[in-house]
Amino acid sequence: MGFLSDALSRIKPSATIVITQKARDLRAAGRDVISLSVGEPDFDTPDNIKEAAIAAIRRGETKYPPVSGIPALREAIAKKFARENGLTYEPKQTIVGTGGKQVIYNAFLATLNPGDEVIVPRPYWVSYPEMVALCGGTPVFVDTTLERAFKLQPADLEAAITPRTKWVLLNSPSNPSGAAYSRSEMKALTDVLMKHPHVWVLTDDMYEHLVYGDFEFVTPAQVEPGLYERTLTMNGVSKSYAMTGWRIGYAAGPEHLIKAMDFVQGQQTSGAATISQWAAVEALNGPQDHLAEFRKAFEARRDLVVSMLNQTSLLECPVPEGAFYVYPSCRKAIGLTAPSGKTIETDEDFVTELLEAEGVAAVHGSAFGLGPNFRISYATSNALLEDACNRIQRFCNSLA
């Protein structure tokens, strides 16, 4: 009998963390490496938020918090959903976790039994299927296509639903593709879900504020009020407020589900860091001026990267509506030979050889369940992005 849990055999390590660490190691060894693998804004947390945290420390807000979050933050979350999404929640219908990942994990741990299915569109954030598997559920993958902008199609959703389906997991804007659903596209999906009252919706809205042009963000329970009683709407402060290290995610949903998640969290981590929670209160209630600046910068970076990647005939890069990722296809590079002499047989080969030859770290699409693609995060400076894209062009031109 082995010492380690059988559950570990059901999951894989996070590819984004592995690639990012490899880039760090190469840089530490003296290599000139540009890392485009991490999903983290390069902006600093706005000063008003940092000052709110400092003030909380000085007030002595350093004790154990309630498991589901301090009252001020739960109230701020309820106000945020009303103000920005037209969703009415009482503070008792909200919960705060140590990052969005914990919120999703707690929801699955509180609801999944062996054999329960969770529909996960591909490409997906690397942690989704692993969290489902750790909680005893079965991920059911539904492919999207580049031609359909990596968006789940209503007919494909309908075909994937079975009597064992418990959740559908939607992420808009998406990590890794940046794809986001318009109101009409979201309505087409919610129309399908209205026909299946046993299916719940878990929506990951972490990139809500990072949408570009005149795109209007919507979330499922906002588009279809009939889904309100079976939707968990998850969000957080990590991306839009440049607060990745503060580790605050939150959600709102039916009170009985929130109570079950509170029960799980109470035996797991208890409440999230008090100081981070007070910072999040300021993030949600305070000035939102920085959001327009973030969007303007990210949109310019998106346009730069898409333009430069599409200048090489080997890559095809659609224009995403949101987040800070692009997800180009490297299908035309498969079968070609890299400068090292290795034949590129997969998207993982492509990003491995790109890192070795040109010092650019990206994440292979198969890690997100759909290839041959790769993910680039453009959450870094224009100068570094231009340098990286020049290197990618040079690498593509070197393939024979």
Positive or negative: CA dihedral 131, 137, 138, 143: negative
Tokens of 120: 């996960």
Contact predicate 179/172, CB 8 Å: yes
- pLDDT computed for residue 282 by the predictor: 98
> All domains of the chain, ordered by start, with CATH?
6-44+290-398 (3.90.1150.10), 63-285 (3.40.640.10)
Distance CA 92, CA 257 (A): 11
Distance CA 336, CA 114 (A): 43
Look-up of token digits 């598997």: 133
> Which residues, at least 6 apart from 99, have a Cβ–Cβ distance to it below 8 Å?
236, 238, 247, 248, 249
Distance CA 66, CA 129 (A): 29
202: Cα within 13 Å, side-chain hemisphere: 25
- pLDDT computed for residue 5 by the predictor: 86
Distance CA 41, CA 271 (A): 25
Per-residue pLDDT of the chain (400 residues; tens, 9 = 90+): 679 888 888 777 777 777 778 888 888 888 899 999 888 999 999 999 999 999 999 999 999 999 999 999 999 999 999 999 999 999 999 999 999 999 999 999 999 999 999 999 999 999 999 999 999 999 999 999 999 999 999 999 999 999 999 999 999 999 999 999 999 999 999 999 999 999 999 999 999 999 999 999 999 999 999 999 999 999 999 999 999 999 999 999 999 999 999 999 999 999 999 999 999 999 999 999 999 999 999 999 999 999 999 999 999 999 999 999 999 999 999 999 999 999 999 999 999 999 999 999 999 999 999 999 999 999 999 999 999 999 999 999 999 9
- pLDDT computed for residue 13 by the predictor: 75
- pLDDT computed for residue 188 by the predictor: 98
Positive or negative: CA dihedral 141, 147, 152, 155: negative
